[in-house]
Amino acid sequence: MLSVLLITFPFFALVACGFAATWRGVLPQAAIPGLNAFVLYFALPCMLFRFGAQTPIAQLLDANVTTVYLLCALLMVGATVALTRRRLGWNDAAFGALVAAFPNTGFMGVPMLVALLGAQSAGTVIVTMAVDMVITTSLCIALSRLDLSGGHGVAVALRGAFRGMASNPMPWSIVLGGVASARGWTLPAPLDKTVAMLAAAASPVALFTIGAVLARSQMNSHERVAAREYVPIALAKLAIHPLLVWAVGSGAMAMGLPLGREAFVTLVLLAALPSASNVSLLTERFGAHSGRVARIILVSTALAFLSFSAAVALMI
């Protein structure tokens, strides 16, 4: 366990540094959108493109990984909505379900799992990112609109979600990386070096930015939220989600589904990651309880240092 903590510590330490810098005013809140833009539009797309281009196309199109991960995501969303909808309404229940099922794969999972498991895990990570960005997010946005009369709100929300996806460079970088892998294309040396330098910056800047975003959400949220409204969801994300993926993956392999051991381990550890920080932005956009979601993300991130490290020690 100590050896695992020594590997995971720097990742969570960078998150803590971003949190402390913002909380103490060293990093102005006005600078956070710039950090987000650098990570979202430059560093992470370059990292995802490089991993996609260097991963065999068959691994990027692995239907077994997609099936297991998507089934678990749907179960997490369905169970969370069923348990909270009557008390919270469709909007808050849907975004609570999204934050329970959507791990922080882009900002945290890609660099951490590649460091722990090697570059061969990147293909599985990319598949799960595509599932969460396209299917899980769209489903939860559609559910959040069910409080509105008729189906008009659902249709408008889904159109907005797909427009947002189309303007997000991360899915496009995944697609371009897959095309480069399938066609065997390589970038000219100067351009490849530029992309590599941006990709190398993704991990530290993304982790620092997570901490900054979490600190900003706490500093700007003046709503009091009862612990029972957010702690159970955070614990479900860190414990129930990875256990569900482990159970479904083990059952699938027992029934003969050709799910490789490396992909299985990667899926379980992905599910053990804390909640995705970008869900708080969607929550604000669609008028749900942003304070509740921000606290779920904060608690899951804080507790993940020990829970994720324990999952790594058990799985590797």
Q: Please state, in angstroms and as integers, the Cα–Cα distance from residue 206 to each residue in 95, 114, 149, following that order.
A: 23, 15, 39
**10-16 contact pairs (CB < 8 A, 24+):** 11/108, 11/111, 11/112, 11/115, 11/203, 11/207, 12/304, 12/305, 14/204, 14/207, 14/208, 14/211, 15/108, 15/207, 15/208, 15/210, 15/211, 15/214, 15/301, 16/211
Residue boundaries of the structural domains of the chain: 2-315
Q: Which residues does the chain have with pLDDT short of 50?
A: none
User: What contacts 95, CB < 8 A, 6 or more positions away?
Assistant: 140, 144, 279, 282, 283, 286, 288, 289, 293
pLDDT digits (tens, 9 = 90+) for 232-285: 999 999 999 999 999 999 999 999 888 989 999 999 999 999 998 878 878 877
What was the pLDDT predicted at 300?
94
The answer to whether 131 and 178 are in contact (CB under 8 A) is: no
CA distances from 92 to 79, 134, 172, 256, 293 (A): 14, 20, 30, 39, 9
Tokens of 186: 């390589």
pLDDT at position 55 is: 79
- Write down the pLDDT at residue 306: 92
Of 271, 281, 284, 251, nearest to 312 (Cα)?
Answer: 271
**Are 84 and 186 a contacting pair, CB within 8 Å?**
no
The pLDDT value given to residue 183: 86
Provide the pLDDT for residue 96: 94
**Residue from 217, 133, 208 nearest 167 by CA:** 133
Contacts of 260 (CB under 8 A, 6+ apart): none
pLDDT at 19: 94
Grouping H, G, I as helix, E, B as strand and the rest as coil, residue 275 is strand
Among candidates 175, 136, 138, which has minimal Cα distance to 157?
138
Contact between residue 177 and residue 52 where contact means Cβ atoms under 8 Å apart: yes
DSSP assigned state of 103: B
**What proportions of the chain, in percent to the nearest 5, are helix, strand and coil?**
85, 0, 15
Residue 208 neighbours by CB under 8 Å, 6+ apart: 14, 15, 17, 18, 21, 35
Residue type, 293: V
CATH topology of domain 2-315: Na+/H+ antiporter like fold (1.20.1530)
Q: What is the pLDDT of residue 107?
A: 80
Amino acid at site 177: G
